[in-house]
Structure 1
Amino acid sequence: MNKTRLFKKSLLAVTITTATLASQHALAAGFQLNSQSATGLGRAFAGDAVIADNASVMSRNAAAMSLFDRTEVSLGFNVIDSEVEVKGTTYTQPAAAGGNSYDVADTTNNATSYIPNFYVVHPVNEKFAVGLGLYSNFGTTNEFDPNWGSGTGTLFVNGSNVVQAVPGADAFGGVTNVSTMNFLLAGSYRINDQWSIGGGLDIIYGEGELKRQSTMNIVQVPSTPTGQTNTQQLMDIDASAWTLGFNLGTVFELNENNRFGLSYHYSPEKEVGGTVSYAGDSSIGDLKIPLPDMWEFSGYHRIEDTAFAVHYSVQWIGWGDFDRLVTTDGTEIKEYKWKDTFHYSIGGTYYISQNWEARIGYMFDEGVQDEITSVSVPDSDRQWFSAGATYHFNQDQALDFGFTYLVGKEKQVNDTITSGTNTISLDTTTKATAMLFGVQYTHKF
């Protein structure tokens, strides 16, 4: 194998994980996607595992379907308009390539995503209810400007032979598009007036597009710049997979104004296969991607003899499972060492009249990064500020609106790529902000 092919293989093993399922626009810790309903969006998903004001509750807690006495259909979509600033960037080559450092121009990555959802809850009798849900729990979109950081790398040649290849800052960027869809088949059972249980089968489909390239300055050894550049296609991947998970939940009703919900979602390890086209070499196998399990506790309390209610949620996400990526042939790709995280949300609802409801919410969401950081995963602690409303046309039809402004904490990032014995580093600062909009229609039969 020539040195160009050897460089490509070693760099592929690193860049494939610099952004695999990275979370620029997932807008929750890691690549979790909190966007299951417009109703939840309007209260920062506070109390969403137990409020049960429309069929979307099944995505958070299947046991809450026992609170329905009529068939309900809910459908809608959320729009995510996000922005990530990458600024104050310094790219440093290894000593073997001269040890040069370059300031890289600031860039802002913008993306707009549309997340649909659809739910049906059908009470079979006073004890049993069944449901179907289509929504997403995970996803991301991350596209750097193709010119960002290009020309900072160096391709050392001796005549027409490559002696050493040091990719530029653009190798840390590229394109990452990942989407998932969760098909939920669920059921619930009412044990008595206070306790209900439920569960469901999650059929998850995911697909992704990952592209990396680097435009490098050509230098004739030992150190004669040619004024020319060469673009190396580092990675071009299209992959998809189906996998199965499950969820369990329970609801405890203290009385008609006070109830609690607890749910657990098991997320399996996914093997993502497809085409890995890289200099004609597809020998690294399929990627094994561990997804996190989730626990959620919610409470809902309507203040007696008033039109006000308060609600809250605490969710634990097992991102500690996402410590590294390996392939199906046992090759270790990269360490992540993410940590388990929590998010905490609190909200309020004002039942204005028979036709109108208003809601607000706040969420604090912990970032997953710990020892290792990445410019392709601008993850940090973030805050959600949410508001929403429902308009009831009549007893059978309602329209929900939700809005959230999300702001992330500024994050200092040190990212590295190792190619052979060389380590290329990138020091930068990232900050994410976003606006989320949601609309949802519910019909009771």
Structure 2
Amino acid sequence: MHKNTNALVKAIRLATLAVIAAPASVLAGGFSLNEQSASQMGVANAGAAANPENATTVLFNPAGMSQLSGTNISFGAAVLDIDAEAKSGAKAVNQLGGDVEGSRGGDIADPAVLPNFYLTHEINDSIDVGFGIHAPYGLAADYENDFVGRYFADKTELTAIAFTPSIAINNGQGLSMGATLNIMYAEGRLSKYQDIRGGVYQQGIQQALAAQGVSSLDQLPPSVQQVIQQQAQQGAANLGDAYEANFGAPYADIEGDDIAVNFRVGFLYELSEQTQIGFTAQTGTEFELEGEIELQGYPAPSAQSPLGVAPQTLTENVTVPLAIPESATIGIRHQLNNEVTLLAGATYARWSRFKELDIYSREGQAGQVSEATGRTGDDPITHITEEWKNTWQFNVGGIWQATPEWALKAGYAFDESPVDQYVTARIPSEDRHWLTLGTQWKDVQSGWTVDLAVGTLIFADDAKVDDREYSHADPTGQPISNANYQAEYELSAWSAAFEVSKAF
């Protein structure tokens, strides 16, 4: 017993360290991660709410712990590698409508390693408890520095770690109920290059109006209006080009972190000896990622500079709200005979909670960035319209128990993308098909089980990005500048996972 306890403690420590070090990944279906368990990945997570094979049921349906005896552990990792690159023809214009030169940005997604660890323990015939560590959400994109759409996106990162204490009870007559508390820690980063031309243009207009002794262009004859606008635009273009040639474009980098909590409840019911059905529901929540914005190279008046301005670095404390959706999953498992098990499931996620990606000041109008950019009131420092939609994921799969030791698995899932009209450079997304194969080896005498799974993601179409700048006050109205980035992205991916489980 003492030897087993030491091994368990070591496994928990290793799993915790691995999750903390794990990078995130670009995804098609929002920023939820599907690769949480090799045993379930082998069947594309089909029927996971009704198929408590091992301790991973802590995540998929805590009620399933009631069907496990004694103490169970499962731990492993998945590798997810997505290729996401803009096709030839990607183009962008700046805030004045001028062409932006640059590259397609390269492959924006690096391989991600996603570890996990789960534990269950039977208290008595009616009560089981469990615990899990996993990465429920992740997002990562990183463009090359000369990316043509650099005024819209450079780096996008989200890494979330969940610690999930769970409990399950059963009535001894085929019905089990469970609950999980998800305590999530998240870190996020957003960065991009800044286009100063729009601000310089507006400043030029205001200076011309002051010289004319009026407060609005409408107070001037149309011919004078046209001259002022042309002069302001030419001046902004010249200064913007000269500034970037001498100092480079200003660069905004935002980082923050937060802890959020949500809940999952689950039910599992045995319809017969061959068939059971499971249902889980998860509450929504919201991270308030608190951190700092650093705006490097922002122009400030300088008598020593031949341009009249020189770069300075500004900082300000900020908050980035990030909505996490409610979701509901149903699963069914049917044992056709002693060798073949059929699985199916569906998940509905309320991604419509994610309407915008905004950065808010925690210092008010006195913050360095707010003061320099003229931000006032409750307006965000920057705004990105998202307006995601609710989604479905459908899964089917099967298990063939070829021998007492070996099982073969296969699965298919259709994963709907929540990104609809506003497809951005930060999250180029499309619907996807997920095909998986898996195998399981079990030593009946010792209780050790090893699962291996591989999968491929086939995207339904190229992701069509049409990124523009919108106002926070009118997020779905007309763009507030001429700035635009358009591209089609080629997306493909593969994944592989392993898992080791043990029943004590």
> TM-score, length-normalised on structure 1?
0.84
Residue 406 to residue 223, structure 1, CA distance change in 2 (3 Å):
closer
User: What is the letter of the counterpart of residue 339 of structure 2?
Assistant: A
Deviation of 1:205 after TM superposition, in Å, equals 0.5
Residue 405 to residue 421, structure 1, CA distance change in 2 (3 Å):
closer
Give the whole-Å Cα distance in 2 for the aligned partners of 1:57 and 1:98.
Answer: 54
- 2:379 is aligned with 1:399: no
User: What is the letter of the counterpart of residue 252 of structure 2?
Assistant: M
Deviation of 1:32 after TM superposition, in Å, equals 0.9
Superposition pairs for residues 162-311 of structure 1, below 5 Å?
Answer: 169-213=149-193, 221=235, 228-278=245-295, 281-283=314-316, 285-304=318-337, 306-311=338-343
Superposition pairs for residues 1-400 of structure 1, below 5 Å?
Answer: 25-87=25-87, 88-94=89-95, 97=96, 99-100=98-99, 104-105=103-104, 107-149=106-148, 169-213=149-193, 221=235, 228-278=245-295, 281-283=314-316, 285-304=318-337, 306-326=338-358, 327=360, 330-332=378-380, 333-395=383-445, 396-400=447-451
Deviation of 1:229 after TM superposition, in Å, equals 4.9
Structure 2 residue runs without a partner (length 5+): 1-22, 198-232, 297-312, 363-377, 472-478
Residue 215 to residue 319, structure 1, CA distance change in 2 (3 Å):
closer
Structure 1 partner of 2:13? none
Give the whole-Å Cα distance in 2 for the aligned partners of 1:416 and 1:195.
Answer: 52
Give deviations 1:196-235, integer Å, cap 9, x for gaps: 1010111000012323236999x99487676935323331
User: What is the letter of the counterpart of residue 488 of structure 2?
Assistant: T
Give deviations 1:43-89, integer Å, cap 9, x for gaps: 11101112111111110111111111221111101111111021121
User: What is the letter of the counterpart of residue 141 of structure 2?
Assistant: N
> TM-score, length-normalised on structure 2?
0.74
User: What is the letter of the counterpart of residue 177 of structure 2?
Assistant: I
Give the whole-Å Cα distance in 2 for the aligned partners of 1:336 and 1:376.
Answer: 10
Q: Is the 8 A contact 2:266 2:278 kept in 1?
A: yes
Give the whole-Å Cα distance in 1 for the aligned partners of 2:49 and 2:26.
Answer: 21
Residue 61 to residue 26, structure 1, CA distance change in 2 (3 Å):
farther
User: What is the letter of the counterpart of residue 330 of structure 2?
Assistant: F
Give the whole-Å Cα distance in 2 for the aligned partners of 1:223 and 1:41.
Answer: 53
Report the 3-state secondary structure (helix = DSSP H, G, I; strand = E; otherwise coil) of the residue aligned with 1:388: strand
Give the whole-Å Cα distance in 2 for the aligned partners of 1:405 and 1:216.
Answer: 42
Give the whole-Å Cα distance in 1 for the aligned partners of 2:24 and 2:76.
Answer: 23
Identity rate, percent: 23
Q: Is the 8 A contact 1:288 1:328 kept in 2?
A: no
Give the whole-Å Cα distance in 1 for the aligned partners of 2:181 and 2:258.
Answer: 17
Report the 3-state secondary structure (helix = DSSP H, G, I; strand = E; otherwise coil) of the residue aligned with 1:108: coil
Report the 3-state secondary structure (helix = DSSP H, G, I; strand = E; otherwise coil) of the residue aligned with 1:109: coil
Give deviations 1:123-168, integer Å, cap 9, x for gaps: 111110000000111001211112222xxxxxxxxxxxxxxxxxxx
Deviation of 1:104 after TM superposition, in Å, equals 5.0
Give deviations 1:223-267, integer Å, cap 9, x for gaps: 767693532333122211111111101001012321000001113
Residue 145 to residue 100, structure 1, CA distance change in 2 (3 Å):
closer
Deviation of 1:389 after TM superposition, in Å, equals 0.6
Q: Is the 8 A contact 1:215 1:229 kept in 2?
A: no
* Corresponding pairs, count: 401
Q: Is the 8 A contact 2:439 2:452 kept in 1?
A: yes
Q: Is the 8 A contact 1:384 1:407 kept in 2?
A: yes
Give the whole-Å Cα distance in 2 for the aligned partners of 1:354 and 1:407.
Answer: 33
* 1:415 pairs with one of 449, 460, 467: 467
Give the whole-Å Cα distance in 2 for the aligned partners of 1:315 and 1:341.
Answer: 8
User: What is the letter of the counterpart of residue 391 of structure 1?
Assistant: W
Report the 3-state secondary structure (helix = DSSP H, G, I; strand = E; otherwise coil) of the residue aligned with 1:171: coil
Structure 1 residue runs without a partner (length 5+): 1-22, 150-168
Structure 1 partner of 2:483? 424
Q: Which has the larger radius of gyration?
A: 2
User: What is the letter of the counterpart of residue 248 of structure 2?
Assistant: T
Q: Which moved more, 1:191-200 or 1:377-386?
A: 191-200
Structure 2 partner of 1:433? 492
Q: Is the 8 A contact 1:27 1:34 kept in 2?
A: no
User: What is the letter of the counterpart of residue 498 of structure 2?
Assistant: V
Deviation of 1:439 after TM superposition, in Å, equals 0.6
Report the 3-state secondary structure (helix = DSSP H, G, I; strand = E; otherwise coil) of the residue aligned with 1:286: strand
Deviation of 1:335 after TM superposition, in Å, equals 2.6
Higher helix share: 2
User: What is the letter of the counterpart of residue 368 of structure 1?
Assistant: P
Structure 2 partner of 1:163? none
Deviation of 1:284 after TM superposition, in Å, equals 6.8
Report the 3-state secondary structure (helix = DSSP H, G, I; strand = E; otherwise coil) of the residue aligned with 1:238: strand
Q: Is the 8 A contact 2:119 2:131 kept in 1?
A: yes
Give deviations 1:162-212, integer Å, cap 9, x for gaps: xxxxxxx22223112211011000000002322110101110000123232
Residue 308 to residue 98, structure 1, CA distance change in 2 (3 Å):
closer
Deviation of 1:276 after TM superposition, in Å, equals 1.9
